[in-house]
Each structure stands twice: as C-alpha cells, then as structure tokens.
Amino acid sequence: MSKVLVLGAGLVSGPLVRYLLGVKDFEVTVATRTVEKGAKLVGRAENGVAWAIDVGDETALEALIARHDLSISLLPYVYHPVVARLCVKHGKQMVTTSYVKDAMRALDGEARKKGVVLLNEIGVDPGIDHMSAMQVIDRIRDEGGTLVSFASNTGGLPAPDANDNPLGYKFSWAPRGVVLAGKNPARYLKDGAVVDVPGPELFAHHWPCSIAGFGTLEVYPNRDSLPYIESYGIPTVKSMFRGTLRYPGWCDSLKKIVELGLLDETVRPELARMTFAELTGTLCGGGRKATQDALARRLGLSAESKPVTDLKWLGFLSDEPLPAGANTYLDVLAQRMLEKMQYAPGERDLLIMQHEFIVEYGDRTERITSTLVDYGIPNGDTSMSRLVGLPAAIAARMILQGEIDLTGVQVPMVPAVYEPVLKELASLGVQFRETTTVV
C-alpha cells in the first residue's frame, strides 16, 4: 500500500485528489489548515483521510511527511523548499506544480544521494507547456530538423458562452496576481534581437494571435522567455517567445488601468472615507468626483473608448463607497474585479495553449502548430483545476509505481516523464491537435 500526502486543499486540488483516490492500493491523506476542506475532497472514500495541519509547525509537518511515501505540495511556493528538505531527510518522494527556485535547486545533490526525486513544474503552465513543447522539439531533433523559431502562448479564460462582461475575463480566485502582471517586465528574442519590455509598458506590447479551431485572441509577453532557450536545448532559434492569451481589448484596458495608477500598493488611510468617483477624481488630478469626460481626458482617450467604458462598468465613476478594508488602490481594483468578474454557477472556463515551431530541413521549411483547447465542466471541475492537478497526480502515481525512475530536482522536460504523462492525459481527453504546413 502506497501512502500519498496532499498538502493543501485549494482550487486545483479536487481533480488531483479524486484521481489518486481511484488508484488501487493507494492511501491518500489531504492535509490542510481547515480540515473541513480536506474532508470535502476525500468524501466517503475508504482510502482517504483529511488531516488538520499548520504548515508553520515544522515538527508536525515533518511527522506527517515521514509517515507517507510521497508528498504533493499544493501550498504557496514559499513552503515547497521546506517540504522538499523534509522529504529528502526521510527519503520520501515529492511532487509540486510550481517553478523551481534556488532554494529547491540547492537540494539536488542530497536528493540524488538519498534516491529521492523532487519533481517540480508538473502542472499546466508550468507543466503541460514544457511537456508538449519538448515532445515536438525532440522529434524535430530526431528527424534532423533545425528549429529557428518557437512561440508558446497560454491563457485561462471564460468560455465564449460565459464571456459576458466588457473586460472578457473572470476570476475563480483572488485577482491580485493577474493584475500585478502589469508590473512585470518581459523579454523575448525576435529575429535575432533581444526585445526588453519595461513593466509599465507590458500591456502596450500585444498583437493578434490566431488559435487553430477557435478564433483570434490577443497575446502579450509572459516575463523572460530567454532562459527557455537553454532549458529546451534549442540554441539555434532566432526567435523565442512565451506569451499570455486574452480576449481582444484586455491589454488596451489594462494599459490604461496601469497608467491611472490603480496598481499602486501604497497604504492610504483616506480610502476608508472615499467613494469610487472620488478616488477616480483624485487619480485624475481634480480632487473631486470624476466624470466620464474627466476620466477620458486623463487617459487621453474619447469618452466612449473601451478603456473608459470598462472603468465605468467596473464602477469607478459611481458614488458607492470603496470596499471595506481596502487600504491601497490595488486593493480597491482587486476587490472590485472579484465582485464584478466572477463565474456564475454552471459557467465554464477555458484553457488554450498553442505552440508554433518554424523548422528548417534540407529541402524545406515547415511551420508546426500544436494546439490545446480545453473546456471546464459546467457545475463541475474547471479546466484550470483539471490541467494543473491531473499532471501532478499522474506523475505521483507513476513515481510510486516505478514508471518514473529519476532522482534529484527534476522538471518534466525529459521523455521519461513527458511521454507517459502526455499519453495518459490524452486518454483523459487532454490532447493537442497538430498541423504542419510548408512555409
């Protein structure tokens, strides 16, 4: 009997836990601060148990890890190195869906000595993006092709039938991380030249992206794409780009939200006494309630432009008091977006991932497009939760059953991981469609 510990019972945990509960001879413990959340995930499964844990109590955490064969950390990323260190100490395996940081990387040598694998980045992005890209890249290499351009674009969005607000986006979790992306600089390679995008200009760098079998979205750069040239082993590329997909119009509106100053994180006690219109008036420099015309002038746009009407729709010209407990402009924006841009019962989300490879062979140049379009289940699992949780669950099963036999700090960029995981994902309906054209 293999014992699996799942740390965390957040929004992506459900599909992962149910998959593991369905594996014969697996015992699954879901440990979380609020034991009721774990109990809800486990349900009536005889091989599942919910456990209360304060992850800040390292003694209790260590005891729990030591009793299990493998731990899956779905905790905030800052806790992963602690879990990993304790797994190595007790010779236990570990899986996470988060990016490898320096503190995790530092455990590689000791993990190898102990015969422990610390498998990271095995979610959707990171995770499925790595695996699906490397599967094609390795095939290109085996066929003698030279990869000269690679682009990988991913977006989690409301499905078209749920896309009913002007901004074309909905949140099933706290929106701070999404809007704070407007502060991140980005870097990519285009035709042999490095393009640096300052954080405040991020949303000014966007363009249409045609998605096979779906339609046209817009894409903007996703942080620093250059390290993936080495990670993916593709030094021949002259263009390397990783992007984020959104419905058209998102970037123009977010650019103006950034310009207005709504991402500012300075604590401002006076917000407790203000309305939305008074806040917007302050940001417009007038010191009184803002009008639609004043907001348009501040942003250098017409009064009926989409960014202005989007802010009006969000309520930033209303006389409503600001949300209770909002101490910064960012608090106000995030709380308002969460209030106005949530999924209604029965609505579906959508995850789209598309890779484009330009490959030179001796007698031709080809464009290979590999596309995943995956929808959530009405009143069931979201696409995001399935595509984050299932790869981690599959990998955990394969590690415990001996199908993945690696040690040290690993990411799923090697055939020993990506081939079996992608094969099983395809059997569960998560499959890329590939087209090839001669350029």
Q: Which residue has the tokens 């990171």?
A: 126
Q: Is residue 438 part of a domain?
A: no
- The single-letter code of the amino acid at 430 is V
d(CA 182, CA 256): 11
Q: Is residue 283 part of a domain?
A: yes
| CATH for 202 | 3.30.360.10
Q: Which two tokens stand for residue 195?
A: 């393009």
Q: Are residues 33 and 43 in the same domain?
A: yes
Q: Is residue 435 part of a domain?
A: no
Q: Are residues 47 and 86 in the same domain?
A: yes
Show which of 283, 308, 340 is a domain's final residue: 340
Q: Are residues 245 and 361 in the same domain?
A: yes
Residue 126: is the preceding peptide bond cis (ω within 30°)? yes
CA geometry: angle 430, 431, 432, nearest 5 deg:
140
Q: Is residue 436 part of a domain?
A: no
164 is catalytic: no
Q: Is residue 387 part of a domain?
A: yes
Q: Are residues 196 and 50 in the same domain?
A: no
Amino acid 181: pLDDT: 79
Nearest to 263 by CA among 271, 272, 273, 254: 254
Q: Are residues 121 and 132 in the same domain?
A: no
Q: Are residues 145 and 231 in the same domain?
A: yes
Q: Which two tokens stand for residue 63?
A: 């005891």
Counting as low any pLDDT under 50, the low residues of the chain are none
Q: Are residues 7 and 115 in the same domain?
A: yes
- Main-chain phi, psi angles of 318, to 5 degrees: -90, 165
Q: Which of 57, 102, 108, 125 is catalytic?
A: 125
Range of the domain at 243: 128-249+347-381
Amino acid 172: pLDDT: 78
Q: Is residue 439 part of a domain?
A: no
Amino acid 289: pLDDT: 86
Q: Is residue 231 part of a domain?
A: yes
Q: Are residues 133 and 241 in the same domain?
A: yes
Counting the structural domains of the chain, the total is: 3
d(CA 361, CA 141): 10
Show which of 307, 323, 340 is a domain's final residue: 340
| CATH for 292 | 1.10.1870.10
Q: Are residues 65 and 145 in the same domain?
A: no
Q: Is residue 218 part of a domain?
A: yes
Q: Are residues 287 and 368 in the same domain?
A: no
Q: Which residues contact residue 260 at a Cβ distance below 8 angstroms, ignoring those fewer than 6 apart?
A: 280, 283, 298, 299, 311
CB 424 within 8 A of CB 119: no
Show which of 340, 372, 402 is a domain's final residue: 340
Q: Are residues 41 and 85 in the same domain?
A: yes
Amino acid 180: pLDDT: 83
> Does the pTM of the predicted model rise above 0.85?
yes
| CATH for 97 | 3.40.50.720
Q: Are residues 133 and 61 in the same domain?
A: no
